Structure 1
């Protein structure tokens, strides 16, 4: 995962794109959890959201490594 993506002449690290995708997925999951009422059972919401982001980021990276290039 040592690549860069060219966006109109600006080289962006691939990890930044993966992190943005993980953030978008985490935001969707957070909204779903808030709508269901899951956060009533969470002790520290911010810490839970950080851990959720790290888990989703790890999943996105793992999926990215498995995809053929």
Structure 2
């Protein structure tokens, strides 16, 4: 678990760092799903992408 992140004298919460780190991971998984056509399996694509982001964020918080 990360401690507070110091950015030019301003302390940033660890969840903010995790949230920013989860964006590229989510975009990479999303790109793979779009290229393979697996994204068509889901009824509401936007809702799935939000759920994917939240899942990635939770996994980062738990395992990093």
Unaligned runs of 5+ in 1: 65-69
Cα distance between partner residues in 1 of 2:63 and 2:2? 16
Alignment TM-score, normalising by the size of structure 1: 0.81
Task: State the partner residue of 2:55.
Answer: 55
Query: Does structure 1 residue 21 correspond to structure 2 residue 24?
Result: no
Q: Give secondary structure in 1 for the equivalent of 2:18.
A: helix
Task: State the partner residue of 1:41.
Answer: 41
Q: Give secondary structure in 1 for the equivalent of 2:12.
A: strand
Name segments (4+ residues, structure 1) moved above 6 Å.
none
Alignment TM-score, normalising by the size of structure 2: 0.86
Aligned length: 64
Cα distance between partner residues in 2 of 1:10 and 1:58? 25
Quote the RMSD (CA, aligned, Å).
1.6
Cα distance between partner residues in 2 of 1:30 and 1:54? 13
